[in-house]
Amino acid sequence: MSEPASLTALIEMLEKATGPAYALDCEIEDWRYALLGWGKPLGQRITPPAYTASIDAALTLVPEGDGWHLDTARMADGTVYRCVVGPSMAAWAKTPALALCVAALNAYRIKERLAAEAKEGGQG
């Protein structure tokens, strides 16, 4: 995709995923490039880390300074993984890496919202 998905849309796609997906790895990488303000090199194909398959790759999404915890729970539709990032941002997904991706991106979404609210509050 030429433009990264919104963070909310990206999280929704990850929550619906049932396993690793290269297309989602690409969406996450596009979002990271947009977040960091990096421009992708023209004419070069960037192979993203396997965020949705690898816990190590997914860990690179955890906001700096936030801790994380991963565990499992047996649900009616099968085993799901729960990941908590930061003090309270929990997410559930079908694989450990997906749960970590969702929780980490949710933590970014919360931080973005809090920063925007603080900015709005400071302008009044």
Tell me the CATH number at 41: 3.30.2120
Question: Is-above-0.85 flag for pTM?
Answer: no
Expressed as residue numbers, the domain containing 86 is: 7-123
- Per residue in 61-85, pLDDT tens? 998 889 999 998 777 767 689 899 9
Between 84 and 89, the higher pLDDT residue? 84
- Would you state the pLDDT for residue 24? 96
In a domain? residue 2: no
Q: Which residues pair with 21 in a beta bridge?
A: none
- For the residues of 7-72, what is the DSSP string, one character each? HHHHHHHHHH--S--HHHHHHHHHHHHHHHTPPPPTT-PPPPP-TTT-HHHHHTTSPTT--EEEEE
Q: Is pLDDT at 116 greater than 70 in this prediction?
A: yes
Cα gap 43→21, rounded to integer Å:
23
The number of folded domains in the chain is: 1
Helix (H) or strand (E) holding 92: strand 89-93
List phi, psi (to 5°) of 64. -55, 130
